[in-house]
């Protein structure tokens, strides 16, 4: 069963500093569940066949001009029909004046009317981005999310494998913590996953034998980050002598999260391995691969073992990873 996420109208009003023109009783408790936004110009002309009344309705200069090209009686019929569909909220852009007819119909049908001074296109793009984040499909994974050299690295593994200890070492080396223990992952677009920490455990990390520490308090504001795009997944597992681990890294493995494939690397753990350094190198190597350079492919090419596919992976002899 698909979970439907919602955002309260009061949160949108606060985020964008919207002016309240008309607000029905308990109107701020209205919730928005659609990431889509509609400009109702075509509805004002009478076409409602594909109209979705769950979307936020935005009225800009075009719609306002269309209404003013009609006499008062026609305006009232157009506005009455529109507000009778009971959209969740109507937002007027560019601080355009709001007619008494519109306020009257908004009150009659209990539809909030808000206003902003922003231009229509700028406001709509910002609002869509906000809704995409807050209404995105999401999942919570047990792990640690850190930013290493600009790469969002999701560290997974069994409890007690050393995820939090590795994260602390990475923070000491100048990298940033996003989440420990529980990572909330959201699919914010068809290509991007963004991770964050649940608000009640944000900035906290658990170290066995020491307890709970606040990373922001101990290491400062530069050691934490609220959200980060997930660029790769690192799976930590206990070293198994009989298991054959990837020693070349020519063919990247992936992990599917919320329908998107993310580059995945398995790192065996045993005493003496400096996991923080290994993860730093993994992050830089992943960044190089995204820029078109594959060290394993270049090595095979120089050894004369290039089968064609390896050579195609080497696009540049030298790539600055930074």
- Residues counted in the chain: 322
Catalytic annotation, residues: 142, 163, 181, 247
Number of CB atoms found within 10 A of residue 48's CB = 13
- Which residues, in sequence order, are CB contacts of 69 under 8 Å at separation 6+? none
Give the residue ranges of DSSP H helices in the chain: 9-16, 41-44, 61-68, 72-84, 100-109, 120-134, 163-172, 215-219, 275-290, 295-302, 309-313
- Decide: 152 and 229 in contact? Cβ < 8 Å: yes
Whole-angstrom CA distances from 8 to 27, 57, 88, 246, 268 are 10, 16, 11, 48, 45
User: Considering Cα of 233, then 235, then 241, then 244, what sign does the dihedral take?
Assistant: negative
Q: Cα–Cα distance between 168 and 179 in angstroms, integer?
A: 12
- Decide: 177 and 163 in contact? Cβ < 8 Å: no
Q: Cα–Cα distance between 79 and 281 in angstroms, integer?
A: 61
């Amino acid at each position: 069963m698909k979970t439907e996420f919602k955002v309260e109208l009061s949160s949108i009003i606060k985020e964008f500093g919207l002016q309240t023109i008309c607000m029905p009783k308990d109107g701020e408790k209205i919730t928005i569940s659609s990431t889509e936004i509609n400009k109702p110009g075509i509805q004002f002309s009478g076409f409602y066949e594909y109209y979705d009344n769950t979307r936020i309705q935005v009225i800009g200069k075009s719609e306002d001009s269309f209404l003013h090209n009609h006499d008062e009686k026609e305006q009232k019929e157009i506005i009455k029909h529109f507000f009778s569909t009971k959209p969740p909220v109507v937002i007027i852009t560019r601080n355009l004046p709001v007619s008494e007819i519109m306020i009257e119909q908004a009150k009659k049908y209990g539809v909030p009317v808000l206003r902003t001074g922003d231009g229509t296109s700028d406001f709509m793009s910002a609002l869509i981005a906000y809704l995409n984040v807050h209404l995105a499909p999401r999942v919570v994974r047990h792990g640690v999310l850190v930013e290493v050299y600009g790469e969002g690295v999701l560290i997974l593994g069994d409890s007690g494998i050393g995820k939090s200890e590795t994260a602390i070492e990475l923070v000491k080396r100048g990298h940033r913590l996003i989440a420990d223990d529980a990572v909330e992952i959201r699919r914010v677009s068809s290509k991007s996953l963004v991770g964050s920490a649940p608000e009640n455990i944000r900035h906290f990390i658990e170290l066995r034998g020491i307890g709970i520490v606040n990373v922001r308090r101990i290491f400062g504001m530069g050691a934490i980050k609220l959200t980060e795009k997930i660029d790769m997944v690192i799976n930590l597992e206990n070293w198994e002598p009989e298991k054959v681990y990837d020693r070349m890294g020519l063919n990247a493995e992936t992990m599917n999260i919320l329908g998107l494939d993310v580059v995945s690397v398995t790192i065996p753990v045993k005493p003496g391995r400096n996991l923080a350094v290994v993860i730093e190198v993994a992050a830089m190597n992943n960044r190089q691969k995204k820029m078109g350079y594959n060290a394993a492919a270049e090595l095979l090419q120089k050894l004369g073992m290039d089968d064609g596919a390896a050579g195609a992976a080497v696009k540049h002899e030298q790539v600055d990873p930074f």
